[in-house]
Amino acid sequence: MKIYLVGGAVRDRLLGLPPGDRDYVVVGETQDTMEAAGFRAIGRDFPVFLHPGTHEEHALARTERKSGRGHRGFVVDADPSVTLEEDLQRRDFTINAIAEDADGNLVDPHGGVADIAARVLRHVGPAFAEDPLRVLRAARFMARFAPLGFRVADETMALMRAMVAAGELDTLTPERVWQELSRALASAQPSAFLRTLHDCGALAVVLPEVDALYGVPQHAEYHPEIDTGVHQELVSDMAARLAPGDALIGFAALTHDLGKALTPKDELPRHIGHEHAGLKPLAALCDRLRVPAAHRELAMIACREHLNVHRIDELRDATVYDLIARCDGFRKPERIGQLATVCEADKRGRLGSADAAYPQGRTLRRAHAAALAVHARDLAADGVTGPALGEALRKARIAAIAAARRVAPGDGGDAGQESRRL
């Protein structure tokens, strides 16, 4: 049986990255011969099997022929006559079209090894244009590999632009867009995902609310990068730095400033009320992509409250309590830490501020911890019951917040003045 290790496992080994899943291509076999050898069939769209011992995936070598629009419009041929080279020809990028035999010899018909050395993401051939999902995959690979110095080949970028212009991306399902977006947000450099899609015109198709931020100016004193789209790239990268691999934090950071795209031109570069203006486009984005509830809820909170957190040292103790309660921070306490992280990413996601302190986040976490330490059962033990218990709990938690802020006051300085001009 001719078996070859293929795809990401070969690529990542050549890049010196930790090994992930190992996928194999089997040449010259059929479903009957695979099952006779003890492999278990699991493929629905094409023949894939689990090895009887290792349980690693083994797929029959196959070709694909375009039969309709979209990323599902293909006819698969897994005849035993299909060669390894023909299987590699259908793959997306040269760096993913390398195979390795059992003796460690590489089969590299498309120059993937050279492209790995040159740090170039290049499409294998013209069949790339038949699958619009590959545009998002290119951007997602850039989110992972840009820190290693990768760039998109000029001819690949040109082909992606042509695919966007032809309307191919309109066929993508919300589920696949969300899948690629969430994986990009969990990568090391999400800005590369955004920039790649923006440069080929795809961001305006799949994330128009985010694309609209590019070219919108901000107050240079607080945003030296000026362009709101550039600011968003910096925020997304900072979120990835503060919460590596966390797409929940990443999505809230990505969408916190959507309202700035709606600021009337005669009010620029100020963005008064953008935190509330951003809720409507955020809801539209979440509805369209069928964003999971947890991501949607945290994003809504961060959009609405990030300026309040920035100016927390100006807020009254009762107002801080109300902020925590609005975020459902007593029933879902993890939300407050998540909100603080998103707000820190916003503050540090600016030119020259990557290493800036964010004491407002510590203040919010400290106030929240103090309030959480007050329990209704303790008040009930003192004889407080009925409707009075709820009000007594609120007052006790506000008092705890006040005490915590007195013991270790925040040092947010001019955060309030800055927040008004964001």
Question: pLDDT digits over 104-161, tens only?
Answer: 999 999 999 999 999 999 999 999 999 999 999 999 999 999 999 999 999 999 999 9
The one-letter amino acid code at 166 reads A
Q: How far is CA 384 from CA 80, 381, 392, 402, in A?
A: 78, 7, 8, 22
Residue 419 has pLDDT above 50, yes or no: no
pLDDT band with cut points at 50, 70 and 90 for residue 224: very high
Q: What is the reported pLDDT for 215?
A: 97
pLDDT band with cut points at 50, 70 and 90 for residue 209: very high
The one-letter amino acid code at 345 reads A
Residue 239 has pLDDT above 80, yes or no: yes
The first and second tokens of residue 246, run together, are 């966390």
pLDDT band with cut points at 50, 70 and 90 for residue 413: very low
Q: How far is CA 194 from CA 25, 66, 280, in A?
A: 33, 28, 21
Residue 21 has pLDDT above 90, yes or no: no
Q: What single DSSP character describes residue 123?
A: B
Tell me what the pLDDT averaged over the chain comes to.
92
Mean pLDDT of 4-23: 92
355-385 pLDDT, tens digit each: 999 999 999 999 999 999 998 887 766 676 7
What domains appear along the chain, each with residue ranges and CATH number?
1-131 (3.30.460.10), 134-202 (1.10.110.30), 207-422 (no CATH)
Per DSSP, the three-state class of 190 is helix
Q: What single DSSP character describes residue 107?
A: E
